[in-house]
Amino acid sequence: MPLDHRLTPEHEELRRTVEEFAHDVIAPKIGDFYERHEFPYEIVREMGRMGLFGLPFPEEYGGMGGDYLALGIALEELARVDSSVAITLEAGVSLGAMPIFRFGTEEQKRQWLPRLCSGEALGAFGLTEPDCGSDAGGTRTTAVRDGDEWVINGSKCFITNSGTDITGLVTVTAVTGRKDDGRPLISSIIVPSGTPGFTVAAPYSKVGWNASDTRELSFSDVRVPVANLLGEEGRGYAQFLRILDEGRIAISALATGLAQGCVDESVKYAKERHAFGRPIGDNQAIQFKIADMELRAHMARVGWRDAASRLVHGEPFKKEAALAKLYSSTVAVDNAREGTQIFGGYGFMNEYPVARMWRDSKILEIGEGTSEVQRMLIARELGLPA
C-alpha cells in the first residue's frame, strides 16, 4: 500500500507553529549566538516549553504523545532558519532521550524522561571515540563491575549536548566483557553529569554548528550503580545501531530544512538584489539554479517522510533511512554552495544566513554515519556482500 506523505491537520498545525517560532524568535537572535560560539539557553528553554523535546514520547513520561514524523517536521522547520538549534533538538531527542525510552527500565524512564521531555535537562549519546569513528564496534572505553557499581575508563569525542549547564546525562557505550570467541561485549551505561571522574573538555572550535555544544569526554574510574546499565549487558552496540537508524531520519529532516532554507533565502535575495538595472531573479541562469535547488529540497523531503512513515507504521525502514540521509545531506551541501554563489560576495559574510548554512552543511555528510557508511548500508540491504 502506498504511503501517504500529506500532513494531517495536527502535523500541519505543528509545522506552522514551529515555522513561526523559527522566524519570529530564532532568526533575529541566532546570528549573535553563532558569532560568539555561545549556546542559546533562552531559545532552548522556549523550545522546551513548546514541548518540542517531548514530541515523540508518550504523555505518561511527560511527552507530547506524537511520533517520529512530528519530530522530523519540527527539525526541518528549525533548520530552515538555523542548524545549531535544530541539532540541539535532534541530539537531545534522538540520541539523548530515545535510548532510554527504547531500552530503559520503567524506573529509568520515570527517572529521566520527564526532565528530558520538558527540555529542563539534555541527554547526550557517547558513542564515537578518538580512535574509532565509523568503526563503533572498536570501542575501547571499558566498564568493569565492582560489586554494585560499574567502574568506567576511557574517552569519547564529538559528543553533542554533553557539556551544557543543563546536560543531565550521557549514555556511553563501553566494553563490559568478552564473548567466548574473544569479541567484546559492548554495553550501554547511563552516566549522570557531575559524576566524579567524569570530565567534560572545553567546547571544540568548530567550522559550523557554532551555537551548539560539542565536546570531548573522559572517564577516569567513574563509578555508577549497576542499575544504570541500559538494556541487556552486551546489547549496547545493537541498541545504538537501532538508535542510529532512527536518528538518520531525523538528520535527514534537518538536512532537508537546511536545503529548503537556502531556497528561501535565495528567492528573497533574487527579488531584492539588482544588477545591471534589474533584479537578478530576472536572469534565467539564477531562476534555473533556484529551480534545481527547490527540486533537491523537495525530493529530500519525500525521502525522509517516506522513511519516517515506515518507522511510524512499524515497517522496515533501515534502507530508506540510509537513502534519505545520504541524499538529503548531499543536497544540503549542494544547495548551500549554490545559495552562496547566488549571494556573491555577500554570501561570504556571516551576517547572511546562507553563510551559516554553507558552514553548517558539510557535517551532515559525516555525522550519524558518513555518506560512505550509508552506501555500505544500502548495498547490504540490497543483498550485496557485507
Structural domains of the chain in order of their starting residue, each with its CATH number: 9-123 (1.10.540.10), 124-233 (2.40.110.10), 238-381 (1.20.140.10)
List, for residues 19-64, the tens digit of each pLDDT value: 999 999 999 999 999 999 999 999 999 999 999 999 999 999 999 9
List, for residues 240-275, the tens digit of each pLDDT value: 889 999 999 999 999 999 999 999 999 999 999 998
**180 touches 190 (CB < 8 A):** no
Distance of CA 251 to the CA centre of its chain: 5
Query: What is the pLDDT, as a whole number, of residue 136?
Result: 62
46 belongs to the catalytic site: no
Query: What is the pLDDT, as a whole number, of residue 132?
Result: 77
Inform me whether the pLDDT recorded for 133 exceeds 80: no
Provide the mean pLDDT of the chain: 95
List, for residues 352-374, the tens digit of each pLDDT value: 999 999 999 999 999 989 999 99
Query: What is the pLDDT, as a whole number, of residue 182?
Result: 81
Q: 218 φ, ψ to 5°?
A: -135, 150
Of the residues 90, 216, 246, 368, only one is catalytic, namely 368
In angstroms, the Cα distances linking 282 to 294, 337, 342, 346, 352 are 17, 21, 13, 19, 22
In angstroms, the Cα distances linking 29 to 79, 152, 355 are 14, 40, 16
Inform me whether the pLDDT recorded for 386 exceeds 90: no
Which has the closest alpha carbon to 361: 267, 266, 269, 256? Answer: 256
Query: What is the pLDDT, as a whole number, of residue 131?
Result: 81
List, for residues 175-230, the tens digit of each pLDDT value: 999 988 888 999 999 999 999 999 999 999 999 999 999 999 999 999 999 999 99
In angstroms, rounded to a whole number, what is the distance separating the alpha carbons of residues 12 and 7?
6
pTM for the full predicted model = 0.95
Query: What is the pLDDT, as a whole number, of residue 220?
Result: 98
In angstroms, rounded to a whole number, what is the distance separating the alpha carbons of residues 295 and 301?
10
